[in-house]
Structure 1
Amino acid sequence: MRILDRYIVREFLGVFVFSLAIFIALSAIVDLFDRLSRFFDVSGMVVIQYYMNRLPWFGFQVLPVAVLLAALFSLGKMARYNELLAMKMGRLNSFRIVVPLLVLGLVVSFAALILGESIIPRMNERALNAYRVKVQKVAPFQRTKDNDIWYRAKGNRFLHISLLDTTSGNIRGLTLFELSPDFALLRRIDAREARWQNGQWLLQDGEISWTGPDGTYRVNSFTNFTLYLDEKPIDLAQVMRESEEMSSGELREYIEKLAKTGANSVRYQVDLAAKGSTAFSSLVMALIGIAFALRTGKRGVMTWTGACVVVAICYSILNSFSISLGRGGVLSPVVAAWLPNALFTAAGLGSVLRVKS
């Protein structure tokens, strides 16, 4: 790495680390004030544990803004002291000058992607579970859908469950429909109660109905009946989890599970696509910051800071709007997630290339 590149990297990292620390602290303070009334009834250790697990998520959210300001202020400082002019007089064009910042933006994006697939989901899950159980006093099973459940099981079977207690595995009101490949009803089982015991479902007080080979409709009652299903109580409950608590692989499996049950998974498909686009928004913000910084001249970065903040806000608004369109089915999940990045990358890159050497 050339001496000039090391100098640019050092200037960028100084502003970046400072900005990141400030924004993480501000995010934690805002979140604390938002939840303050709910923290009165819990110990201070619970609050500390919640925020220790939540801080990486706050950092993930503010990374793009920290990169934006780092690119703007580091290059802006060089412009103020005529360092950019000296570089250009040394036969370096504008694009070559900013290459180290683009590489840093890319490195931050990959780091965000890796952390977003490993550490952050696990810590988010611990933080949110602790908050729900210890602060909101919500029992774990109440996070699941426990009534009026329709579930498509293996073997072309459909289940309707009136009430499910996921802590005990007991079902009140179970109906199972067994269908042929062409969706003709082969058998129906109704039970007043079902219990998960020793890896199988034990049905009580019900009846089995089917149509015999001669076309007659037959019904047999039972007191106890063993039903063999691969699905466990927790599978039937369709545990409700936030996208931020899952990695891309877990979210993909969750989407497949929802699809099998016939539930609408569009929201999670958009969130899955957005995991990658959110991570690479740091690179987009680096481009935007560079584009503004190269135009600051000796007037100082403060001249362009306001405009840069407005652009960042516009990006956030467009991103939220695009995600909403995706969840509403207007845009495909991939387009909804990546459209803001594509538009702002094109604008930022075009602006950098138009700067005179």
Structure 2
Amino acid sequence: MIGVFARYEARRLAGAFLIATLIVFALICTVNLIELLRRGGGEGGPGFARLAAMAALQTPSVMRKTFPFIMLLAALWTYMALARRSEITAAMAAGMSFWRVAAPGALAAGLFGAFAAGGFDPLAAAALDRFDRMEGRYFEGRESLLSFSEEGLWLREARPDGGQTVIQARQADSGGARLGEATFFEFDSQDRFLRRLDAEEARLAGGFWRLSEASILGEVRGDPLASAEMTHESALDLPTHLTPDRIQEGFSSPEATSIWRLPRFIRDLEAAGFSARRHKTHFYATLASPLMFAAMAVIAAAFAARPPRLTSYGLAAAGCAITGFALYFLGDVALALGGSGEAPALLAAVAPSLSAALAAAALAAYLQGS
């Protein structure tokens, strides 16, 4: 009987979670589309089809944040339905403890959390990265992109004449205002190479990159090797519209980077001289998400699994929602502390999931003893 009931409970929870996910996806996508239409739906805007695509691309990253609460609602719905039909009462009368009643749902929720971290997260990250690029292009006029590799930092900057400058640097300070061992590649609007500048150091100051000890491969016309001329300048200013803040905006947000790529991205980020606290915090929090999912299922069971004659389902739903919002607030504060460096990244990322698990254990122990 235990095996049959466990499979039945897990199927019910899985079905409720999928239905709740589809409903929330539709709601969030609609809200995103309305906001994008407000921002760019006028004449000369990107157009409805492109805005709808952007809304769909943005939705998975928002859903990723709400998944634990979708699980909380789905589990509450499932356990209330089981309790109303006295199925939980019958299972406990047959000798099952509360822990054995809640375990199948917690296991199913944990598996959903593992899929959300390892499967859904990369899809949401790719969609958000695409959305960020489209938002920068159509709403903010931002074409600068920042990336990292084993060679250091790479930055692409669009110029007013339609050309672009690609910047590579071995080192950078935490704000991106000083680059060490920097190389600037300039291209025209037809993506033809114009010139290359190598500098020991490049600093952002008042709308210019100030290059120190710069070697310049002169302007190229026709055959680049035949016409190239090398010159040297002890100091040289290159106009730029970049600022330290705009460079920081070019970072891929942690949510726009797949969890499978985050460890290497963090290493490259730190090797280039930038802080990776936000990315570390996001990485650890994503790894801890299966525990959060499982805890949410147990919390919902603790509120909803009592016999109908002893339970006010309105109060149970309200108590469950308040607990969920409290954990959400704690998670937001912890992630902010971790991202700012006020708390260790690992502790800040894992604390919300551990708190949820402890709350679930406390509620379950109280129910078991009552």
| Bucket of the pairwise TM-score, normalised by the shorter protein | 0.7 to 0.9
Deviations 1:117-142 (A, max 9, x none): 53222222233323332x32635336
Percent pairwise identity:
18
Query: Partners of 1:272 and 1:93 in 2: how far apart?
Result: 36
Q: 2:85 aligns with which of 66, 81, 84?
A: 81
The change in CA–CA distance for 1:278 and 1:100 in structure 2 (over 3 A counts) is closer
CA pair 203-251 structure 1, distance change in 2 beyond 3 A = farther
- 1:323 positional shift: 1.0
Contact 1:118 1:247 in 2 (8 A): yes
Separation in 1, partners of 2:194, 2:360: 58
Runs of at least 5 residues in structure 2 that lack an aligned partner in the other structure: 147-154, 158-164, 172-178, 202-211, 235-246
Residues in 2 aligned to 1:107 and 1:267: alpha-carbon distance in whole angstroms: 26
Post-superposition offset of 1:68: 0.6
Residue 72 of structure 1 contacts residue 301 of structure 1 at CA under 8 Å; is this kept in 2? Answer: no
Structure 1 residue aligned with 2:368: 356
TM-score by length of 2: 0.72
| Superposed structure 1 runs of 4+ greater than 6 Å apart | 169-173, 193-199
| Equivalent of residue 144 in structure 2, options 136, 141, 144 | 141
Contact 2:106–2:295 at 8 Å: present in 1 too? no
Q: 1:292 to 1:191 in 2, by over 3 A?
A: same
What's the CA shift for 1:319? Answer: 0.7
Alignment partner of 1:96 is 2:97: no
Cross-structure match for 2:282: 271
Residue 321 of structure 1 and its aligned partner are, at CA, apart by: 0.6
Residue of 174, 180, 190 corresponding to 2:214: 190
Cα deviation, 1:254-284, whole Å, max 9, x if unaligned, reads 3222222222222222222222234543222
Question: 1:217 matched to which residue of 2?
Answer: none
Q: Does 1:125 align with 2:129?
A: yes
Q: How far did residue 165 of structure 1 move?
A: 5.3
Q: Would you say 1:247 and 2:258 are equivalent positions? A: yes
Is the 2:278–2:339 contact (alpha carbons within 8 Å) kept by the matching residues of 1? yes
Q: What is the identity, as a one-letter code, of the residue corresponding to 1:132?
A: G
2:180 aligned residue: 158
- CA radius of gyration, larger in: 1
Aligned residue identity for 1:138: G
Query: What residue is the counterpart of 1:330 in the other structure?
Result: 342
TM-score normalized by the length of structure 1: 0.74
Corresponding position of 2:206? none
Listed as ranges, the matches of 1:191-206 within 5 Å are 191=215, 204-206=230-232
Higher RCO, Cα 8 Å, sep 6+: 1
Q: Which sections of structure 1, spanning at least 5 residues, go unmatched?
A: 178-187, 209-236
Report if the CA contact (8 A) 1:150-1:158 is conserved.
Answer: no
Q: Deviations over 1:56-75 (max 9, x none)?
A: 33443332112111211221
Q: Is the 8 A contact 1:121 1:245 kept in 2?
A: yes
Residue 104 of structure 1: CA displacement?
Answer: 0.9
1:54 partner amino acid: Q
Q: How does 1:63-74 map to 2 (within 5 A)?
A: 63-74=67-78
| Residue 221 (structure 1) aligns with | none
Pairwise CA RMSD: 3.6
